[in-house]
Amino acid sequence: MGTKETEDWEAKYEACNEKLGTLEKLSLNAVKEYEDVLKVLAETDHELKECMKKLEEKEKEIKELSQLIEPAVVEYDKLQEEILIEKECKEEAVKYATQVVQENKKLKRQSQDLLKYLGNNSPLDIPVAIFEAPEEDDSSTQYANTLNEKINELKEEVTTLKANLKWTQDQLATETYNNKQLNLKCDNLKVRLQQTETSLNQHRDALKDLAKMSEEALKEYESLQDQFEQEVQRRNDIEQDVKMFSQENLKMKRQSNALIMEHASDQKMMKALNQIEKLSDELRDQKQKYEEEIEKLRVEATHLSKEAQENREREKNQLQEERDEFQNHLKEYEQKYSDLEVKYKELEKKYDDATRPPPPPPPPPPPPLTGPLKGFLGRLSSKKKDTSRKLSLGGVNLNDSYSQAVAEMMDSIKKGTIRLNPARTPIKRSSKEKKAGQSGAMGELNNLMKKLKRNQSESDSIETPESPGFKPDSELAQAFKRVKSRTKSTDSGNTPLRPKDLASLQEEHNIEGDVFH
């Protein structure tokens, strides 16, 4: 029973190995065919794209030609009609012109002859020769020749236009024929593409079937391997049992030898011993056979496993080589793409430089700050002189504090910064300054210039007990309020006056001058 089971297992194992080998071969062939079909499909797709591009280009050209031919035919018909009309008009004009010229020549000749004759003779004796027709002139013939030349030129133009029209018609016919052929090619390629798609689907189905078969074969192989391992384990167990039996047999032999020595004359005992020896010999022979068969199976299993490993290693090496090739191709394409991108950027820069409009002219330089300052300072000085002159005439004495304040303001305007250092303690006015306070615009200006140097924490009201004639709602007060607020902002940031601030100061100074006047 043991030999039959081992033979059955060997047969099953060999059949499974054969199935596995055939499946591997079929799968490799299917993969190769699938790759070939993919290559053919890619080629057909490329050809189809090229044909579609050509077809689109040809259709565009045909549309352009049709768009050009229709107006050309219309223009040709119009030109032909105009040429016919011009021919008729020219013929009529030539006829009429020749008649008129001839009549004019006749009349001129007759009038000249009459004048000559009447100058010498009486009007009754007029000869008949005067009224005869003169000979033709060369000028009329030249004019007719020029007209004939123009007519010939127009005929030549008509013939050239006809030839061009025929040429365009021939081109249109050839393009339509090419278009039909391209359509036929496109249809054929579509049919081929459908065929390749169907074959590709068939190959995919075959690959799926092969995958299923390979999975089933692998499952059978795994089950056989499990059974083989179980049999090996059983064999090991049996070997252990055999070892135990051999040990017990040795013990029995020793005991039997002792018994034989004791009972050598007993024949039954000798027969039993002989049978035991025969059975032990048969057991050894069977054991050797089983061991030889197991070694054969091991050798075959190792051989098959080596072949499978070699096949796998080959496939692995092939896949690695293909991967390396694809990586090299990818690097080359990336390098080409980077180079093309650099070229594209350079061309784009050149295109931008070429299409960029010329730069606008630079703006005119800003007017110098010295000009308006000088004008503003000149106005201040002139108005200062006018006010001092008017005050001197009016019997008013100028105050030293006022002149100092105006000089400080002029210096700050010249330097471009107006800084007011606020005093924390209120400044006590002297009795002299109280007495020197004058009524009118000059007094207001003096009091305001002193207030600019006082503490900013005091009230913003301009009228004080020391300025009895000051009006807070006057234009001068409002102007100095604005000046005060600007000076506060400049003191907080320590920034120089801008031209806009200077202009506003100038306007305020103009208002001040109006108030003085």
Maximum Cα interatomic distance, the chain, rounded to a whole number of Å: 211
The single residue listed with the structure tokens 């390749």 is 196
**Helices (runs of H) and strands (runs of E) counted in the chain:** 9, 0
pLDDT computed for residue 494 by the predictor: 46
pLDDT computed for residue 193 by the predictor: 84
> What separation, in Å, do the N-terminal and C-terminal C-alpha atoms of the chain show?
146
Model pLDDT for residues 417-442, shown as the tens digit of each residue: 555 454 444 444 544 444 444 445 66
pLDDT computed for residue 61 by the predictor: 83
**DSSP-based helix, strand, coil % in the chain, nearest 5:** 85, 0, 15
Segment 320-328 mean pLDDT: 79
Model pLDDT for residues 165-213, shown as the tens digit of each residue: 888 888 888 888 888 888 888 888 888 888 888 888 887 888 888 778 8
**502/513 Cα distance (integer angstroms):** 16
Model pLDDT for residues 263-278, shown as the tens digit of each residue: 555 666 667 767 777 8
Q: Under the phi-then-psi rule, with left for phi > 0, alpha for psi from -120 to 50, and beta for the rest, what region is 416? A: left
Q: Specify whether the CB–CB gap between 488 and 420 falls below 8 A.
A: yes
Q: What's the Cα-to-Cα distance from 172 to each of 71, 175, 179, 186, 193, rounded to whole Å?
A: 15, 5, 10, 21, 31
Q: Specify whether the CB–CB gap between 460 and 480 falls below 8 A.
A: no
> Lowest mean pLDDT: which of 74-78, 94-98, 429-433?
429-433
Q: Which of 14-23, 131-140, 258-267, 405-414 has the highest average model confidence (pLDDT)?
A: 14-23
Question: Looking at the predicted structure, is the pLDDT value of residue 121 above 80?
Answer: no
SS (H, E, C) 122-185: CCCCCCHHHHCCCCCCHHHHHHHHHHHHHHHHHHHHHHHHHHHHHHHHHHHHHHHHHHHHHHHH
pLDDT computed for residue 514 by the predictor: 45
